[in-house]
Structure 1
Amino acid sequence: MAATDVTGTGVPVPPGRVPSIVVRDLRVTYKAYGGKRNALGDEAEGRLGRALDRVTRHVGTVTEVPAVRGVSFVAYEGESIGVIGRNGSGKSTLLRAIAGLIPTAGGEVWAGGDIALMGVNAALSSALSGERNIMLGGLAKGLSRKQVNELHDWIVDFAGIGDFVHLPMRTYSSGMAARLRFAISASTAPDILIIDEALSTGDVEFRAKSAARVEEIRQQAGTVFLVSHSTATVRKMCDRAIWIDRGLLRMDGPTDEVCDSYERVMRAIRRKKRLRG
């Protein structure tokens, strides 16, 4: 039986595969306000000119910055997909748009289930204890208080924070906070789990536990997206990789093939920089 395009993306869906995320021509544009030049031009000089410059330099200047430019792909149930690219390439913006957290400038996103997004900068309150943040995080995931209480011990144990759970999160190290965020997000098996750089902050033991949990979610027909600068982590945890470059989808395919191409380009860029320096 031949593959057919049932998603409208132009990408054929193999027989027996069930799409979980369909992204078609997705675009995200940021608006930057302000400019370097004042509204009066270069002739404004001296003390008065400098004063006027401080007041008028942001007048009427709006710059549109395309962060994601026409990205299309289909993700399937049971896949673990690594998203790689340089800083500022649009990786996190793409997945935050897929999760519905930021507005899009165009295109379409279809999700076949609930989406859980977690990352190093996930919003938990540093003034509250770990215990209170577990409750708030669980409620934000749509769980009842009873369900959160039932998962409490599992979350504390998985995060490895022990008695620190009773202390404000501002007393936690960055690694402890990241572990807690991951544990809250992964305490249930969402249909789609998006992990943004969080695993890079953990130690070897925690990364192994996280990888095992991601595999469990995948085995339950979940789809996992992992945004990471570490191709080693992506190679270990993902069976597919997407390379985003300057807001464009540069490559999508088997993890090793995509990571190999990305690393070759990065090595070439570093060589050019050394020669220039």
Structure 2
Amino acid sequence: MADDNAQGRIPTVIADDVHIVYRVNGAGGGRGSATAALSRMVRRGKGEPRGVRKVHAVRGVSFTAYRGEAIGLIGTNGSGKSTLLRAIAGLLPTESGHVYTDGQPSLLGVNAALMSDLTGERNVVLGGLAMGMTQAEIRSRYQEIVDFSGIN
């Protein structure tokens, strides 16, 4: 990595052995919801509650993205692409491993942040406000945002 930095390459995203696990509540075994809730409360602190299964959505992903690079995530439906992007954007915690970013990553993609019933301009304004930008900052960076995101 020292050689890369010596050549002026600056890492912007580092994923280091990232694992993401979802916990999914299964059926309560035919028991009523009040009984299931009571059982969960009694079992607190004793490991995973009964009926909860783990889904390992992302397993051991590592990469370094450098400023100016584009990286494509390719995989079948349900393979963890969007889950990994959510972790990079800071929206999901990792079970193990780490994600390091230079700056504040944005999650821009199909249906990730855009609202289809709004115009492109309104989406840019809404997204900027959600990121804490002022109206003046959004106006001054509007074209840069449009060019980056590909919004028409």
**Considering the TM-score relative to the shorter chain, is it more than 0.5?**
yes
The letter for the 2-side match of 1:22 is I
Percent of residue pairs bearing the same amino acid type: 45
TM-score with structure 1 setting the length: 0.41
Structure 2, gaps ≥5 residues long = 37-49
Which of 75, 78, 94 matches 1:88?
78
**Which residue number corresponds to residue 187 of structure 1?**
146
| C-alpha separation in 2, matches of 1:120 and 1:114 | 19
Question: In 2, distance between residues paired with 1:118 and 1:69?
Answer: 23
Structure 2 length normalisation: TM-score?
0.70
How far does residue 132 in structure 1 lie from its aligned partner after superposition? 5.0
Q: 1:111 and 2:101 equivalent?
A: yes
Contact 2:89 2:104 in 1 (8 A): no
Equivalent position to 2:11, from 7, 19, 43: 19
Aligned Cα root-mean-square deviation (Å): 3.4
What CA deviation, in whole Å up to 9, does each residue of 1:68-116 have, x standing for no partner?
1111111111111111011111111111101101121111111112212
Deviation (angstroms), 1:143: 2.4
Give 5+ residue unaligned stretches, structure 1. Answer: 7-11, 39-52, 155-184, 190-194, 196-209, 211-277
What does 1:35-184 align with in structure 2 at a 5 Å threshold? Answer: 35=27, 38=29, 53=30, 55=32, 59=36, 60-123=50-113, 130=119, 132-150=122-140
Q: 3-state DSSP class of the match of 2:32?
A: helix
Please report how far the alpha carbon of residue 64 of structure 1 lies from its aligned counterpart in structure 2 after TM superposition: 0.5
Aligned length: 136
- C-alpha separation between the residues in 2 aligned to 1:187 and 1:147? 14
Letter in 1 for 2:146: S
Return the alpha-carbon distance in structure 2 between the equivalents of residues 150 and 20 of structure 1: 24
Residue 118 of structure 1 and its aligned partner are, at CA, apart by 1.3
> Which structure has the higher relative contact order (CA within 8 Å, separation 6+)?
2
- 3-state SS in 2 of match to 1:119: coil
Letter in 2 for 1:20: T
State how far apart, in whole Å, the 2-side matches of 1:15 and 1:117 are.
30
Structure 1 Cα separation of the partners of residues 56 and 20 of structure 2: 6
Structure 1 residue 144 displacement after superposition: 1.5
Secondary structure at 1:80 match in 2: coil
Q: Flag the structure with larger Rg.
A: 1
Quickly say closer, same or farther: Cα 1:99–1:134, change in 2 above 3 A: closer
Q: Distance in 2 between matches of 1:132 and 1:84?
A: 30
Deviation at 1:133, TM superposition (A): 4.3
1:252 is matched with none
State the shift of 1:188 in Å.
Answer: 7.0
CA distance in 2, matches of 1:126, 1:85: 25
Aligned to 1:30: 22
Structure whose residues are more often helix by fraction? 1
Per the TM alignment, residue 137 of structure 1 is displaced from its structure 2 partner at its CA by 1.7
SS, match of residue 117 in structure 1: coil
In structure 2, C-alpha distance between the alignment counterparts of 1:113 and 1:21, rounded to whole Å = 9
The offset of 1:54, in angstroms, is 6.4
